[in-house]
């Protein structure tokens, strides 16, 4: 998941910056996709030797979670402007 997120985060930020689609909907979709792929562990039964479902869901989780931070940054910048962006983003992180 970490490697997928590392690779996709630059492209996700570029997509978020260039899109005219509502970023709140993108953030909600990314959060739902991340949550659903994290819950895929419930589909694996004890003693299951097929690990493909876990590999696929971790890749999907990395892709969808790479959209969360750029969406949050874009929404923060849109709401507070460039003058207050640093303090608002610091409040978001903590």
Cα distance between residue 60 and residue 34, in whole Å: 8
pTM of the shown model: 0.77
Decide if 16 contacts 74 (C-beta within 8 A).
yes
pLDDT at 75: 87
For residue range 62-91, what is the model confidence (pLDDT) as tens digits? 999 899 988 988 888 888 888 888 888 888
Question: DSSP string spanning 27-44?
Answer: HHHHHHHHHHHHGGGGGP
Domain residue ranges in the chain: 2-93
The token pair that represents 8 in the structure block = 């996709």
pLDDT tops 90 at residue 25: yes
Average pLDDT, the chain: 86
């Amino acid at each position: 998941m970490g490697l997928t997120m590392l690779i996709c985060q630059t492209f996700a930020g570029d997509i978020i910056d260039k899109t005219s689609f509502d970023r709140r909907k993108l953030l909600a979709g990314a959060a739902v996709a991340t949550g659903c792929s994290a819950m895929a562990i419930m589909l694996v039964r004890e003693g299951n030797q097929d690990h493909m479902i876990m590999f696929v869901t971790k890749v999907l989780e990395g892709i969808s979670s790479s959209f969360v931070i750029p969406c949050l940054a874009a929404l923060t910048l849109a709401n507070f402007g460039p003058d207050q962006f640093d303090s608002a983003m610091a409040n978001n992180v903590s």
